[in-house]
Amino acid sequence: MLFTKIMKPNTINMLNRLGIVMLLALGLSCTTVENVDFPERTKIALRDAGNKLLLSNKDSISLILPVVKLETNKYQLSFNNTLSFEPTFLVTVMEQSLKSAQLPKHYRVEVLQCSDREVAYSYQMSAEKESTIIPCSGRYLSEACYLIEVKFTNRVAGFALHEFISYAIIFLVLMGLIFLIIKKARPDSAKESNEIFEKLGSFYFYPEQNKLVKEAEEIALSKKECELLALFVANPNQIIKRDELTKRVWEDNGVFVGRSLDTYISKLRKKLRADSSIKLTNVHGVGYKLELN
């Protein structure tokens, strides 16, 4: 809340837009990581799994036919000769090949008979064990012509958690840097406005508004305090005689009481004491001096 109060609407809008752009960039980065060469990597992985199946049949001659993309996220692996295999071995080699290609962990595999396209075997894999279904392990599929279809059921799950965390950390670090930059630049932004101010140590003095500003805190000044401080700011590190101060501030402004100047000087000292580099010094018998280190 404090942060939004000390920023101008234009600055807040800029931050909002930048945040949206960065979130979109993060989303696109996530999508890009997962989708770069996805079809090509999938086809290579399926051919690798097919090769292992053939070798398990002691077959190094039969061909693996071109892997076909049937629809979005669904691919078909086929062979020019018959083969047989144990389902558990299919599960293992398919998981190894897809993992090596950095493909999603959520997918469903169906083994279809070429003759009638009936499902001879199927199973479902997931990053969550409770969603993984692998039935009928240990039962060999007799030698026949088979089509193996793989459908990725949740592409988002294929995006590695550690990569998401990395992007999230980068996003938070960038937002933190933006916060610091804007916090430091906030006083400079005031210079771009029409408000007239003077830099006084760590304060910003606004004579037309009778106030001092230090970071997010505003310190109100009375009219006399403001007039006195304006004289000191215009003549830093110089002695201003008491007579000149009283004449400039109190002339034609009512009755002047002898201790009025000292009272207002004391009030200014209290309001400026937050910055030790600023001192209102009493030059005995002469006047006062604003000392700035």
| Structural domains in the chain (count) | 3
> Residue 43 in contact with residue 101, Cβ under 8 Å?
no
98 and 182 both lie in a single domain? no
Q: What's CA 280's distance to the chain center, in Å?
A: 46
For 210, the 3-state DSSP assignment is coil
- Residues 237-258 as b/e (b if ≥16 CB within 10 A, e otherwise) read eeebebeebbeebbeeeeeeee
The CATH number of the domain holding residue 249 is 1.10.10.10
User: So what's the pLDDT on residue 252?
Assistant: 59
93 and 126 both lie in a single domain? yes
41 and 153 both lie in a single domain? yes
Nearest to 122 by CA among 152, 85, 157, 149: 149
Task: Report how far apart, in Å, the C-alpha atoms of 176 and of each of 41, 119, 180, 187, 218 are.
Answer: 37, 55, 6, 19, 25
Residues in the chain: 293
User: So what's the pLDDT on residue 113?
Assistant: 95
Residue 148 belongs to what domain range?
Answer: 37-158
Ranges of H-type helices in 58-140: 87-100
User: So what's the pLDDT on residue 176?
Assistant: 81
DSSP state of 193: S
Per-residue pLDDT of the chain (293 residues; tens, 9 = 90+): 444 444 455 555 555 565 665 555 555 554 444 466 899 999 999 999 999 999 999 999 999 999 999 998 999 999 999 999 999 999 999 999 999 999 999 999 999 999 999 999 999 998 888 888 888 766 789 999 999 999 998 764 444 555 667 777 888 888 888 877 776 665 544 444 456 888 888 899 998 899 999 888 899 999 989 999 999 999 999 999 988 888 888 775 655 565 788 899 999 999 998 898 999 999 988 999 999 87
136 and 57 both lie in a single domain? yes
